Chains A and B, each alone.
Chain A
Amino acid sequence: MACHAENNISTVGEEQAALSRAKHWIRVERYYEGEFPDVTVKFMPVFCQQCDAAPCEPVCPTFASYHTSEGLNGQVYNRCIGTRYCANACPYVVRYFNFYNPVWEKPLHLQLNPDVSVREVGVMEKCTFCVQRIKAGEIQAAAEKRELKDGEIQPACVQSCPTHAMVFGDLSDPESQVSRFARSGRSTKLLGELGTRPKVNYLPRDSWHGSEDA
């Protein structure tokens, strides 16, 4: 919900969701183990891994999907012509396509976030790590002539998680909390064997009880 509200992600309705066209930039994957009734459920939030070697970027013919100077996987909606090649190339299936123009039932249209553009039909979208918050934080810090503090910027998902299961920070700062987590022995990357070099680190419990941090 926080993610949908922050990023103006439209809901597609029951019928379209049943067709697997829902747009959940962060998707909590559920994997079941064991035979009923002795079943355990494992959760794993999956969202854009902001790969350093992202398969989605080189395949885009119009540079709509590109690598920003800060290392994010940017998506420029105005350049996107909807080949959907990026979504096919993405091994994590975290890119969502606007099959129809977005609709907000009144009065929900009044709560749109003015910092985030609304995507029209035929355009690909995905998790941005709440780039509008990152930018706002950087501008604020620059205006106050200071460095960004670790944990000062929080994407909507991190901010709203009641159990602090996710942490956001600067991986290029070796002292940040995310860097320390990433160095810990528990850190693992989702589908790291594909060589996409994702920036998201998962900290599984014993085997791989999903969760944790970016």
Chain B
Amino acid sequence: MAADELLAAEAVALDRPVVRIYGWSEPTVSLGGFQRLADARAAAVIAGLPLVRRPSGGGAIIHGTDLTYAVAVPRSHAWGSDPQVLYDAFHESLAAELRERGVAANRHPGRDRAAGDELRLLCFDRRARGDLVVGLGVNGPDGAKILGSAQRRLRGAVLQHGSLLLQPPPIATVTHPGLLRLHPPAAVWDLRHLVSAWLTRVAAEAGGPLDEQAEPFRRSRSGLIADAAARFREPAWLGRR
């Protein structure tokens, strides 16, 4: 979370989008910026898992079997104004790549408020407009969700987090099937290639280069990241609501 937060400053300094792709060393639940900690603590489905809180919105994610991305976009960029545009840029790019590989991936049209999605704890149990689902109308009326994203809209930049569910997490398997379970891995599912093809499409949509920040970024900013990490570790941050 700390490294992701610094992406925003990096995007402003470079004046272009910066993306970071990562996984998790152990199963961890990340809560949305305003979700109630008490609701998470009371949920048997995630009992015992470490909890962190994201700066971005949205629902809780059980990390560990997903691929997480963070992208920061300067407010002056074409993606910096309308929240849906940035959301769709990442989701439709992946949908297009998956469709080319024979997967029926589509953006969900969104449910009306009566569905009570904001009351559901887990991101992958919700459906917002643009969420990437597989088999809409086949895997249930709402399809099987494989990618959800949420944003923190800062003054100079927008930070978007997203989670691509690859495998079902150890729990919640009924509502969290995962891409690779829906489509068993084969040569076509070389993840490294899939992600590379996805980001190439995103960069084409952006109309310019997309910086990817990985280990060198973390090393060069280790002091700043440590400071930010201390804030994210404070009980007051996790318990802010």
Query: Are A and B interaction partners?
Result: no
Chain B residues packing against A (C-beta within 8 Å): none
Chain A residues packing against B (C-beta within 8 Å): none
